[in-house]
Each structure stands twice: as C-alpha cells, then as structure tokens.
Amino acid sequence: QAEQEIQVVFPPEQTLALIKPDTVEEHKDEILKAIQDAGFSILHMMAVCLSQADIEKLYRKLQDKPFFNQLVDFMCSGPCMALILSKFRAVHEWRAMMGPTDPCQARETAAESLRVHFGKDILHNAVHGSSSSERANEEIHLVFGDVCREENQASLLHEASATA
C-alpha cells in the first residue's frame, strides 16, 4: 500500500512589535536581523512617533500602576520602529524572543533574549510585543490603522483604474 503523505499547513498569525525609542537608533539593524533569522515575515515596518493618546491606549491596562506616567513619557520621547510580524504562533514566538519584562532580573538566569541583550532596566527594555492574538489585532489597528487603510484604498483605486 502506497504511503500517503499528509501535509499539515499551519496558518500564520500576526503580532505587533515595537523597537522602543531609546533602542531604535543604536540597535535597530541587529534586532531586524534577529527577527528575520528567526523566520518571521515582516509585513509592514515604519518609524512612528506615537501620540500620547495612542500610548495611553496601548498600555491602558497599566493606567493604575505607579510607573504609568513614566512609561508614557518614555514611549513619547522619540520615534519607535513599528513592525507587523507574521509567523505560526507569532504572538508567543515574538514574546519568547523578547524575554521577560525586567532584563536585569532575567540576566540572573542564563536565558538569552532581546531584552537581556539590549534592555537597560525594567522600563527601558528595548522591545514591545502584543500579549495575545486579540490584543495584536487591536494594537496593529491602533498603530497601523491609517496606513493600512490608505494602502487598501490605494490598491482599490489601482484595481478600479486597471479594470476601467
């Protein structure tokens, strides 16, 4: 009996990644290379100065924390590099690659991660990643919403003129 080959195709997932303001200039290229080496597809990438309102929305679950204002000021202090990453289990894979929130504490274990490598302290920890697939959709919409809408409109216009 001939062996039947079963191919299972896993659907990719998307997540939002941010390279935080103090890390962009010095380490952007190394981080982008690490992302590509790990097998993520970068669907969109842009440098963006997030508004205070957007950052407050991004971190709304932390608004009662004593460090919230410090976090908002830090994330407003310069441009971030924003990326939409795609891969099977992208949310989990990107967070695993980022490592724990506090790079100083994480350095006490041997586990290598982007935050261990590039983070300075618990606030200035180099990178952001969505915490779930639902949050990823919301965060991608928050950061890339207008860009994606403009692109969709541009491609619709292109299609319309091509079929006219």
Contacting residues toward ligand GDP, per CB under 6 A: 59, 62, 67, 70-71, 101, 122-123, 125, 128, 131
Query: Would you say 123 or 148 has its CB closer to ligand GDP?
Result: 123
Query: Would you say 68 or 147 has its CB closer to ligand GDP?
Result: 68
Instruction: Name the pairing type of β-strands 13-19 and 127-129.
Output: antiparallel
Q: Of these residues, 44, 92, 128, 141, which one is catalytic?
A: 128
Query: Catalytic annotation on 44?
Result: no
Q: Are 57 and 1 contacting, i.e. CB atoms less than 8 angstroms apart?
A: no
Q: How far is the CB of 159 from ligand GDP (least distance, A)?
A: 39
Q: Which residue has the tokens 């303001």?
A: 21
- Please indicate if the annotation marks 95 as binding a ligand: yes
Token reading at 76: 């407003």
Query: Which amino acid is present at 137?
Result: N
Q: How far is the CB of 157 from ligand GDP (least distance, A)?
A: 38
Query: Would you say 138 or 148 has its CB closer to ligand GDP?
Result: 138
> Cα(69)–Cα(82) distance, rounded to whole angstroms?
21
Query: Which amino acid is present at 60?
Result: R
Burial class (CB in 10 A: 0-12, 13-18, 19+), 125: buried
- Please indicate if the annotation marks 74 as binding a ligand: no
DSSP type of residue 86: E
- Please indicate if the annotation marks 152 as binding a ligand: no
Positions at the binding site for ATP:
20, 67, 95, 101, 115, 125
Positions at the binding site:
20, 67, 95, 101, 115, 125
Q: Which residues are catalytic?
A: 128
